[in-house]
Amino acid sequence: QSVLTQPPSVSGAPGQRVTISCTGSSSNIGAGYDVHWYQQLPGTAPKLLIYGNSNRPSGVPDRFSGSKSGTSASLAITGLQAEDEADYYCQSYDSSLSGHAVFGGGTQLTVL
Amino acid sequence: EVQLVESGGGLVKPGGSLRLSCAASGFTFSSYSMNWVRQAPGKGLEWVSSISSSSSYIYYADSVKGRFTISRDNAKNSLYLQMNSLRAEDTAVYYCAGRPKGPRYGDYEDWFDPWGQGTLVTVSS
């Protein structure tokens, strides 16, 4: 059971918009800790996708965007492409776990 | 090119030991907090351990405390994880990942970047 809750799977057709939620609590996201997102393509290592709730590292397309509100965060992907098919993880910190990093359980995105 | 390359994974019996290494290049290793993050087969990511740039601060997840030891050698741009008393539930791909230096002295950014390609540890009799 992960500290941050994500839907196990989402899907969408090419060109569509999908969102992935990340729900926490008052000891992590709600406590003010930032949320970061990672993309893990099949058989590869995770890659930083969004940092500080809504910032994109250099090279990440602006089709990817992040937001945070209250005890939750969301990752939105617009103009869905086949190459976006991957697992997505949110990450934050939790004060009840000595301030250590915590991850969501991951969401598998399928492009139909 | 920024790169982290893990090595040392393999098959080990329950109760056995293994030492993982992570070689860094292409960035200022000595200014990064370094971490180990693992992923059990078909499962999500789990933070395992972290070490500050000067090795002054070291932290472990409860699941590995007392069994794993993290260390680093800034002169060799290398990170290590000594794993003892291994259990079946330690079976996972182990990634090394860095946290960049933050804007304030002694601080690090909250996210993990870069990541290595991972090394598989299998604990089985």
Instruction: Find the residue in A nearest to B116 (Cα).
Output: A45
Flag whether residue A108 sits within 8 Å of chain B, measured between CB atoms.
no
Distance from C-alpha of A6 to C-alpha of A8, rounded to nearest angstrom: 6
Mean pLDDT, range B6-24, rounded to an integer: 98
Mean pLDDT for all residues in chain B:
96
DSSP per-residue string spanning B63-100: TTTTTEEEEEEGGGTEEEEEE-S--GGG-EEEEEEEE-
Q: What is the pLDDT of residue A71?
A: 97
- Cβ separation of B45 and A33 shorter than 8 Å? no
CB B92 within 8 A of CB B9: no
Cα–Cα nearest to B46, from A51, A102, A106: A102
Q: How confident is the model at residue B64 (pLDDT cuts 50, 70, 90)?
A: very high
Give yes or no for residue A11 having a pLDDT over 80: yes
Distance from C-alpha of A17 to C-alpha of B87, rounded to nearest angstrom: 42
Give B8→chain A minimum CA distance, Å.
17
Give every CB contact of residue B14 below 8 A, 6+ residues apart in sequence.
B86, B87, B88, B123, B124, B125
Give yes or no for residue A98 having a pLDDT over 90: no
Q: Which of B30-39, B45-54, B60-69, B104-113 has the lowest mean pLDDT?
A: B104-113
Cα–Cα nearest to B59, from B70, B67, B74: B70
Q: What is the pLDDT of residue A49?
A: 98
- Cβ separation of A98 and B59 shorter than 8 Å? yes
Give chain A's length: 112
Distance from C-alpha of A10 to C-alpha of A33, rounded to nearest angstrom: 25
SS3 letters across B3-40:
EEEEECCEEECCCCCEEEEEEEECCCHHHCEEEEEEEC
What DSSP designation does A45 have? -
Q: How far apart are the first and last CA of chain A?
A: 28
Q: How confident is the model at residue A99 (pLDDT cuts 50, 70, 90)?
A: confident
Give every CB contact of residue B82 below 8 A, 6+ residues apart in sequence.
B17, B19, B68, B69, B70, B71
Q: What is the pLDDT of residues A15-50, one digit of tens each?
A: 999 999 999 999 999 999 999 999 999 999 999 999
CA distances from A87 to A60, B69, B83 (A): 16, 29, 28
Q: Considering only CB atoms, which chain B residues are within 8 Å of A54?
A: none
Instruction: Find the residue in B nearest to A57 (Cα).
Output: B113
Distance from C-alpha of A43 to C-alpha of A82, rounded to nearest angstrom: 16
Q: What is the pLDDT of residues B84-120, one digit of tens each?
A: 999 999 999 999 999 999 888 778 999 999 999 999 9
Q: What is the pLDDT of residue B107?
A: 85
- Cβ separation of B111 and A36 shorter than 8 Å? yes
Q: What is the pLDDT of residue B9?
A: 97
Q: What is the number of CB-based contacts under 8 A between chain A and chain B?
A: 58
Signed CA dihedral, A56, A61, A62, A68: sign only: negative
Flag whether residue A7 sits within 8 Å of chain B, measured between CB atoms.
no
Q: Considering only CB atoms, which chain B residues are within 8 Å of A98?
A: 59
Give yes or no for residue A92 having a pLDDT over 80: yes
Q: What is the pLDDT of residues A41-88, one digit of tens each?
A: 999 999 999 999 999 999 999 999 999 999 999 999 999 999 999 999
Give A80→chain B minimum CA distance, Å.
23
Q: Considering only CB atoms, which chain B residues are within 8 Å of A102?
A: 47
